[in-house]
Chain A
Amino acid sequence: MGAFLTALFTGLRLGSVYALVALGYTMVYGIIKLINFAHGDFIMVGAYALFFTVPVLRAAGAPAWLAVIAAVLVCAAVGMVTELAAYRPVRKTGTNMTALITAIAVSLILENLAQAIPAIGPNPRTVASIFAAGGISLAGATLSWATIITIAVSLVIMLILYSFTQKTRLGRAMRAVSEDKQAATLMGINVNSTILITFAIGAGLAGVAALMYVAQYPAATNVMGATLGLYAFVAAVLGGIGSIPGAMLGGFVIGLIYSFSSAYISSSLASTFVYLILIVVLLIKPAGILGKNVGEKV
């Protein structure tokens, strides 16, 4: 029983982070139909921002989690710069494939820049713990407070995002752009600004995800974003890319799959299972659990 609960709690722990990351991924993909490979690396940026700001806040006697503000701002800035410097020019002149390749390049640039800049550097940096240790214990397994807070935060963000896209003018503009860019332009929507804001929000979300990730896994390295981003993407696709509730669902499912296959089958094969899930989903129901299919006009 203890082993099962441990696996369950680990799965929730992982899943909560994946869900948060997947939310940002799915939002950006839903709008500009581009898999932002660099999304995971935005989290890395956020983690390093936290690494620098948490000690400062601690020294000033303020709660460590306020550092999330810094993380969100830094990430949003990086997101907007990426959109302006890399994605927008390629969107104008290139094809879908070149846009994707650009995303990969941006991811590489961020990862290697983090390695190259001496203050950040190639060695892992430990971020001081953010939330109190301990949590709810059951049969020898512990569900840490950090995990519970992460789940709560993800749910809140999901609700906020959902009502934002459904109810506010900007949210509707974002949905319009995702359906039909040209029509949106004709309706007076500034597509470029909308996309820029979408990136800012998506990247900002990555900043929050960074806080939650670092709260549970306190090390920041320059490659932490790569695998995280990949798993989160699988989660977003599983749940239905473009669907906000789907991202949440997908995140937790992937976290649990990883955790349980790690515990009961083999930890080194766990990643294989995650990717296999992705392949199976895309083969059977490409729209994902909660997504909808859109065909191409012939």
Chain B
Amino acid sequence: MKTRTAKKTGGYLLNAVLSAAVIAVSVMAPDFGATVKGVTIVWQLCYFIILSCSLNLVIGFLGQLSLGHCGFMAVGAYTAALISLAFQRAGFYTDKGGGAFLLVLVICIVAAGILAALVGVLVGIPALRMKGDYLAIITLGFGLIIVNIINNLPFCGMDGLSKGSAASALYANGLGFVAGQLITWLWLPVALTILSVIMMYMFVRSKYGRAITAIRDNEIAAAASGVNVSHFKVLTFVVGAFFAGIAGAIFSMCSSTLSTASFNFTSSSILNSTFIVVMVVIGGMGSLTGSSVAAVLLYLLNYTIKNGKWVSVLPVFLRQLFAYPMLVYSIVMVIVIIFRPHGIFGTYEFSLYNSLKRLFSKRRTAAAAKEVTDNE
């Protein structure tokens, strides 16, 4: 029985080395001649990946349709921005480099996650009493309420962060990184993303993951097996919200303005709760790998559409279609749901270690088989 729950040290080691390598590359980004434009893409990919994976915890693993995920992100974004601004105005740090700034950074990120998580509790508790359809509407409502409230808070919406000199002050001296700083600080979102995805993966491969997939598959049987359904439901919302908050912190670091218009349900930008749902559905509900891959693919698709890269490639009648990314995505989503409801990856999680092992053992058995036939 040793192999059943072996510590999987091989896999962990490989992943640790890979992560370190990726982070190292991002630290040395300036030396690789990275451009601000290219680096901005990576920053944005980072928070989309975190958003997609964290929403998958609620939609894919717990099986509850949550439509207000970007509300949590907004909470995180504003928290991080405001705290950094407060510190900066209090004179705690002046430039983005010293130890003081680093400390503020850590505080902002953690606070963003925690505050978002608290809001997650507020959303999760009413959500306990509802079934599927109603839950979806309630989370949608909450997402809109959160954004609406932020809009009406004097220090956020009105003359706080999205208008006037306060905004530019924030992003010249507060948390927001500009131009060259985006390159030198690239390692931060990359490290945060890797860390977040790993943490979510650990969450899923434990009693927590088992409990919430049990709730998804058969809530009554889960309760009859001793699972405290309410506790795990709220917990999943909270964990999902926490990471959405972290994603929000990253967003506020790399965006030149912070305004609630970006977080709306039917916004024309892709940063809205629906788009994250599309990512999760297409990637595979129940696969963190799927969410990450879908996030990257859909982001790049959107980027190339917005930059008109498809116009030359497509026949004329499709060009008008591709002028509106959300149209493409929603059609793709319907096709995916009808023909491949489990998404691209289903519940499969990619493990580099396992894939390599299989590759090498195939080679070994092929070599052994060849030996046998040679000797005959």
- Which residues of A are interface residues toward B (Cβ below 8 A)? 33-35, 86, 89-90, 93-98, 100-102, 104-106, 108-109, 111-113, 115-118, 223, 226, 230, 233-234, 237, 266, 268-269, 271-272, 275-276, 278-279, 282-283, 286, 296, 298
Tell me whether A282 and B138 are in contact (CB under 8 A).
Answer: yes
Spot the interface stretch: B307-315, B324-332, B347-355: B324-332
Q: Which residues of B contact A271 (CB under 8 A)?
A: 144, 148
- Which residues of B are interface residues toward A (Cβ below 8 A)? 59, 63, 65, 67, 126, 129-130, 132-134, 136-138, 140-142, 144-145, 148-149, 151-152, 220, 265-266, 274, 277-278, 281, 320-321, 323-324, 326-327, 329-331, 333-334, 337-338, 341
Q: Which residues of B contact A268 (CB under 8 A)?
A: 148, 151-152
Tell me whether B134 and A286 are in contact (CB under 8 A).
Answer: yes
Tell me whether B333 and A101 are in contact (CB under 8 A).
Answer: yes
Min CB distance, B286 to chain A, in Å? 12
Besides the known contacts A94-B341, A108-B326, A233-B137, 14 further A-B residue pairs in the complex with CB atoms under 8 A apart: A86-B338, A93-B338, A97-B65, A100-B133, A101-B65, A102-B334, A106-B334, A115-B327, A116-B324, A269-B148, A272-B149, A276-B141, A276-B145, A282-B126
Question: Can you list 25 A-B pairs, Cβ within 8 angstroms, ordered by A?
Answer: A35-B136, A93-B338, A94-B338, A97-B132, A98-B341, A101-B337, A102-B333, A102-B334, A104-B277, A111-B266, A111-B326, A112-B324, A112-B330, A116-B327, A223-B266, A271-B144, A271-B148, A272-B145, A272-B149, A275-B141, A275-B145, A276-B141, A279-B138, A279-B142, A283-B129
Tell me whether B337 and A272 are in contact (CB under 8 A).
Answer: no
Interface of B: prevailing SS: helix
A276 CA / B132 CA spacing, docked (Å): 18
Q: Which residues of B contact A33 (CB under 8 A)?
A: 133
Chain A residue nearest to B330 (CB atoms) is A108
Min CB distance, A287 to chain B, in Å? 11
Tell me whether B148 and A272 are in contact (CB under 8 A).
Answer: yes
Tell me whether A98 and B126 are in contact (CB under 8 A).
Answer: no
Chain A residue nearest to B67 (CB atoms) is A104
Q: Which residues of A contact B278 (CB under 8 A)?
A: 105
